[in-house]
Structures are given as C-alpha cells and as structure tokens.
Amino acid sequence: MPIETPSADATRRRFLGSITNGILSVIGGILGVLGGGAILSSTVRRQEDWLAASALHDLPDNEPTAVTLSVMRLDGYREALERKTIFLVKTGESEVAAFDATCTHLGCHVAWDRQAQVFRCPCHGGVFDRTGAVTDGPPPEPLVKIATRVDGDRVMVQA
C-alpha cells in the first residue's frame, strides 16, 4: 500500500485556516477583555455615584423641596459640570423620595405649587401629584424617581 502525502494545496489550506482561527481567537479575546472592563467600570462607577443632597432635619414633612446638584459628567474625553434640579420629599421618619424636576413631556422644569399641592410644568400645562404621577396634561410618563438612602442625617441621592 503506497503512503499518501498531502498535496501542497491541502497543506496551504490547513495552514491558512489555522492562521485565520488564531487571529479570530486573539480578536475575540481582546473584545472580551474590553467588554468586561466596560461592564466592571460602570458597576464600580454606579456604586460611587451617591451624592449628599440635603440634611434630613432640613426637610419639612411631606413638602417637596427643590435642591440643585452639581455633578461631574464625562462628556466624550473631557469632564463637564452638570447642574441638575431635583425635588426631595420627606415621607417618613427617615424616608425620603426624590424626583427629577424635568417634565417628561418636553423637558421643561416643573415647580411645586404649594397652594394646589401639585408639581406644575409651565410649558404645556403638565401636572404631577406629590408622588410624581401624572394627573393632567400631555406628559406621557410620571416624573423620574431617583434612588435615595439616608446615612445618619444626610440624604444621599444616586447621580
């Protein structure tokens, strides 16, 4: 029985296939490391993005209080200072709700109407109750709730 040797074309094909598989494996490994790093860094960043918004004893019971926060945000390759207005509502002994002051209709800033006990949007007549729910007007969604926690006397909000 004669011994068969692979032809030059078959050997070249096998070599090119091995090189292609190796290159694709390296690219996949690089993409996996980059994707994993992005996921981990965003998880770490989320844990650190708690800001002191107010002292708990400064908040009246069940009365929304406007607070303006200054937050450093990454804008492409540079950091930019962003000012954001939120409302804090002390709902219990050490419980606080927080809402973004941006109307969900077209992005105008809402204000608390103390007499009517509602948030009003001056742009298109949107009305929200004390819990942020829409009660009148064109807003399609309630006010955005912001995560809060109380550390001692400090009210912390997640940026």
Residue type, 149: R
pLDDT tens for residues 58-68? 999 999 999 99
Do you know the residue count of the chain?
Answer: 159
Domain end point (choices 17, 32, 48): 48
Q: How confident is the model over 8-59, as pLDDT tens digits?
A: 666 777 878 888 888 888 888 787 777 655 554 444 444 458 999 999 999 9
Residue 89 sits in a domain whose CATH number is: 2.102.10.10
72 in the same domain as 40: no
Domain count, the chain: 2
Q: Is 128 found in the same domain as 87?
A: yes
Which residue range is the domain that position 42 belongs to? 7-48
On whether residue 29 sits in a domain, the answer given is yes
For residue 27, tell me if it sits in a domain. Answer: yes
pLDDT, position 7 = 62
- Confirm whether 1 is domain-assigned: no
* CB 126, CB 105: distance < 8 Å: yes
Residue 94's alpha-carbon distances to 1, 91, 132, 148, 150, in angstroms, are 90, 8, 20, 11, 7
pLDDT tens, 71-117? 888 878 888 888 999 999 999 888 999 999 999 999 999 999 999 99
